[in-house]
A and B are shown apart, each in its own frame.
Chain A
Amino acid sequence: MQVSITVNGEQRTDEVEPRLLLAHYLREVCGLKATNIGCDTTSCGACTVVVDGLSVKSCTVLAVQAAGAQVTTLEGLAGADGELHPVQKAFREEHGLQCGFCTPGMVMASVGLLAANPDPTDREVREGLEGNLCRCTGYHNIVRAVRSAAQAGPAAGRVPGAQEVQA
């Protein structure tokens, strides 16, 4: 069936099978490979993207459920001039990654976290990212990165060209 979705600010219409998962749609139909598929069971959060302002695990959403929605992936975070989003910058500066596999999901979940709580404590960051697993257990610098990103103000909780992330 036909589905129209706005992906990273660009509206597109594609013919998809109803059973196509949003994660597969983004990777294979749109060619956006930043969104990783980790556990494929709604546990690890590697496939987290923002749909209509809310972080979701794209392995557990059908592409057809996102019809009419605004979807933002990691590729959509940086500005048109290539300037990194405050959360991307902070992950880079604080080295909030080890192997990098969980990073796209961590970054997208962090944007959602900072939208709901612009100045979280360490504990609030850890609880707010409970849906994202780092297989290297590199949580310490991830928490530092999110707290550092919070210093950038409200921009850290926003996705470009779309409505504010709600929570």
Chain B
Amino acid sequence: MIPSPFEYVRVGSVEEALAALAEHGEDAKVLAGGHSLLPLMKLRLAVPEVLVDISGIPGMSYVRVEGDGADAVVAIGAGTRHHELERDEVARAEVPLLPHVAGLVGDPQVRHRGTIGGTTAHSDPASDLPTALLALGGTVVLQGPGGRREVPVTEFWTGFFETAMSPDELVVELRVPRTGTLGWGYEKFTRRANDWPIVAAAAVDGRVALANMGGTVLRATATEEALAAGAPIAEAAALADQGTSPVADMHADADYRRHLARLLTRRALETAAGA
């Protein structure tokens, strides 16, 4: 399978990337690791006229703590590849859910290429890292012609492959709260080792996010409210599929996905609680 012809533009700075996006508008797509975009292009489900390759921009891969005390956040460069995040010492100490989940994406070869900014911008509801980011809270930092803006993760993913970004904006950073020694859990159900989750659940600090239970990654709000009201884990987890709209496909029907959402939420919450 070979993609349709396109023009390839390799940029050396965020400013050059933004200029290329401004020039080509919706005809352009940003290329980072390419492990979501190139498969779509090979199937001709995506047919961009211009690819703007941002992988050569220096300084896009980092994990660092910014600020102090309760206001401190962990800032992750959008160009950070999954295998880098998986092994990053700062990430492992400050927000351990994220490197754990980075290590579950695809397989080693995929993790060598894919980036956290790419999977964020792609907005596949079955993606592991967006599920973890949604459970953590925090923001997506976008840069566009008008400067930088931060969009809360709860408002960023708006639909299947759709986000709150404009075509002339670039994801430049993810910012998540430090969780330090707080418990966390991630449960991913697949049929084959390197697959996307049929359903996955992430739990940390009383928040629960689900993969593949609707058009976007989403929060299990009924579970979160029950936990906040003091319900035991089993009772709260039994509400995890409320308000979701899972699809049926060759892997699972909707009822099975609802069952998985409740089960995986319970397991993730129990792991987070150290139970």
A residues with CB within 8 A of B? 1, 17-19, 21, 24, 40-43, 45, 48, 54-57, 60-62, 64-65, 67, 109, 112-113, 116, 127-128, 130-132, 167
Contact = CB atoms under 8 A, between A and B. Distances in A.
Contacts of A61: 34, 38, 113
Given A41-B1, A56-B109, 5 more contacts: A42-B35, A60-B35, A131-B110, A132-B107, A167-B83
B108 interface: yes
A132 B193 CA distance: 10
A51 B3 CA distance: 22
A45 B108 CA distance: 10
A19 B5 contact: yes
Nearest to A127: B193
Nearest 6 CB-CB pairings of A with B: A131-B107, A18-B8, A130-B193, A54-B112, A19-B3, A130-B107
A1 B8 contact: yes
Contact of A167 (B10, B39, B108): B108
A131 B106 contact: yes
A85 to B, nearest CB: 19
A45 B107 contact: yes
A130 B103 CA distance: 12
B160 interface: no
A2 B6 CA distance: 15
7 contacts: A54-B83, A55-B108, A57-B110, A60-B35, A62-B8, A65-B34, A167-B87
Interface residues on B, range: 20 to 34
B107 A65 contact: no
Given A131-B108, A167-B83, A60 B38 contact: yes
A45 B112 CA distance: 13
Given A19-B6, A67-B10, A40 B42 contact: yes
B34 to A, nearest CB: 7
Contacts of A24: 2
Nearest to B2: A19
Nearest to A40: B1
Contact of A130 (B53, B83, B108): B108
A62 B109 contact: no
Contacts of B83: 54, 167
A154 B112 CA distance: 21
Interface string B73-91: 0000000000100010000
B109 A45 contact: yes
Nearest to B81: A54
Contacts of A40: 1, 42
Contact of A55 (B31, B42, B109, B194): B109
Nearest to A55: B109
Contact of B10 (A41, A64, A131, A132): A64
